[in-house]
Amino acid sequence: MAKAFEQPIYVTRPLLPDITGVTERLKQVWDSKQLTNFGAQHDELSRELKEYLETDHISMFSNGTMALLLGLKALKLTGEVITTPFTFPATVQALDWNNLTPVFCDIDPATYNIDADKIEALITEKTTAILGVHVFGNPCDVEKIQAIADKHGLKVIYDGAHAFGSKIDGVPISSFGDMTMFSFHATKLFNTIEGGALAYSDPALCAQLKLLRNFGIANAEEVVLSGLNAKMNEVQAGVGIEVLKVIGEERRKRHAIKRAYQENLVDIDGVRVLTTLEDESSSYQYFVIEIEEAAFGHSRDNLHKVLQQYNVFARKYFYPLCSDFEWYRELPSARPENLPHAKQAVQQVLAMPYYGDLPIESVEAICGIIRELHITQKSLSQI
Ligand code: T4K
């Protein structure tokens, strides 16, 4: 019989580089006395990320939400934006803060991404953009989405919060759409504690995005637009430079963990492993399973609770659906009958513990708990 873990096992743990390198970075920041406002660490990380992500241009922000919010602002969108309800609240909240109305489109049950085949029917004369999310690092159907956007003169923005390093047939994920947002939050594969970036190819956006994240200040004499304060500071950037050095090793560790999960879950009825991009193309951000209650013998919610009894804190990303937020419920596109696949996914999906320092034996033990629950069909009350 499976035993509870002595220490809690969380869905993730931050990737922490050796403290020596971070201390050296801190010393450089201290010596320079430049703590924020586009200093040397900021510029160095910016250069390194541009290369790593193979993008033409990159702008770094205090967090991913501010990057998306101001990216949408820079594109001067109005009216309605077609997006997915199966995402983190930040995606649609970035629309709210731009006075844009989200139009929720159902998802593709195979990838959990916006269903490109359902987008066109939602376009009205007010639509100005499509905001896709590369959910769990798996790419949207970028070709189909671009074709629709070109046909109707729409912008395409991707929330790539989970897609750091994702590629499609060897092409970096940021090559698609007008811009891609990345999150560098502590829970992300690559982190700057908090942080985020926009990657894009239009050089005109560089200056605009710099103004938007620095109060619209053009120079000591001129404030040219209403901006915000959303700059990445020097400590964030310094940490990021050190994290980038260990990302290859982290990806290798996560690869082994992914394989261990796959091998240990493959023959359990009712547990579907979300197909992710293979190896070099993967962002290795999450390891996600889907529970089909009839075959597994328990609901996703029951499994979630049982795992907690064993000190394992898997997460129901993304629950609740954004279309169920109180302030969207009246939108026609938020009606449940329009979002059948999203409604189903939100009841079935579970993000499993996934980070490089998670021992393979722990992965095997977690899978053992799942297997035991399936085999014995025991209810929560019997544990
Ligand atoms: N778009 C999408 C699709 C996103 O998923 C996100 C963020 C965004 C946009 C916005 O990007 P940011 O503005 O955040 O850059 C976490 C993260 O806070 C959030 O960044 C992330 N998505 C989301 C999917 O996950 P929570 O509410 O699950 O965080 P929390 O605090 O419960 O952390 C999860 C687990 O991670 C904890 O149980 C323990 C561990 N943890 C967490 C932190 C913060 C640590 O071990 N150390 C830590 O410092 O949202």
> From the CB of 136, is ligand 1 less than 6 Å away?
no
- Give the model's pLDDT for residue 345: 97
pLDDT digits (tens, 9 = 90+) for 205-246: 999 999 999 999 999 999 999 999 999 999 999 999 999 999
**Dihedrals phi, psi of 317, to nearest 5 degrees:** -75, 130
Say whether pLDDT at 64 is over 90.
yes
Question: What is the DSSP code string of 111-122?
Answer: T-SB-GGGTGGG
Say whether pLDDT at 378 is over 80.
no
Cβ atoms of 135 and 84 closer than 8 Å: yes
Strand-pairing partners, residue 131, are: 83, 157
Cβ atoms of 77 and 156 closer than 8 Å: no
Question: What is the DSSP code string of 249-267?
Answer: HHHHHHHHHHHHHHHHHTT
pTM (2 d.p.) = 0.96
Q: Which residue's CA is the nearest one to ligand 1's atom 26?
A: 187
241 C-alpha to center of ligand 1: Å? 20
What is the residue-averaged pLDDT of the chain? Answer: 96
325 C-alpha to center of ligand 1: Å? 19
Cβ atoms of 221 and 234 closer than 8 Å: no
Give the mean model confidence (pLDDT) for residues 350-379. 92
Cβ atoms of 133 and 113 closer than 8 Å: yes
- Give the model's pLDDT for residue 377: 66
Cβ atoms of 178 and 202 closer than 8 Å: yes
Cβ atoms of 265 and 271 closer than 8 Å: yes
Cβ atoms of 110 and 288 closer than 8 Å: no
Task: Go through the domains of the chain in sequence order and give each one's CATH number.
Answer: 9-13+248-314+353-381 (3.90.1150.10), 19-245 (3.40.640.10)
Q: CA nearest 235: which of 32, 21, 25? A: 25
Residues 6+ apart with CB under 8 A from 19: none
Dihedral sign computed on CA atoms, order 146, 125, 340, 371? positive
pLDDT digits (tens, 9 = 90+) for 135-183: 999 999 999 999 999 999 999 999 999 999 999 999 999 999 999 999 9
- Give the model's pLDDT for residue 381: 45
Q: Which residue's CA is the nearest one to ligand 1's atom 29?
A: 187
> From the CB of 161, is ligand 1 less than 6 Å away?
yes
pLDDT digits (tens, 9 = 90+) for 237-255: 999 999 999 999 999 999 9
> From the CB of 90, is ligand 1 less than 6 Å away?
yes
Strand-pairing partners, residue 60, are: 197
Q: CA nearest 380: which of 303, 284, 314? A: 303
| Residue of 69, 72, 88 with the most ligand 1 atoms within 8 Å of its CB, for mutation | 88
pLDDT digits (tens, 9 = 90+) for 102-119: 999 999 999 999 999 999
> From the CB of 13, is ligand 1 less than 6 Å away?
yes
pLDDT digits (tens, 9 = 90+) for 22-53: 999 999 999 999 999 999 999 999 999 999 99
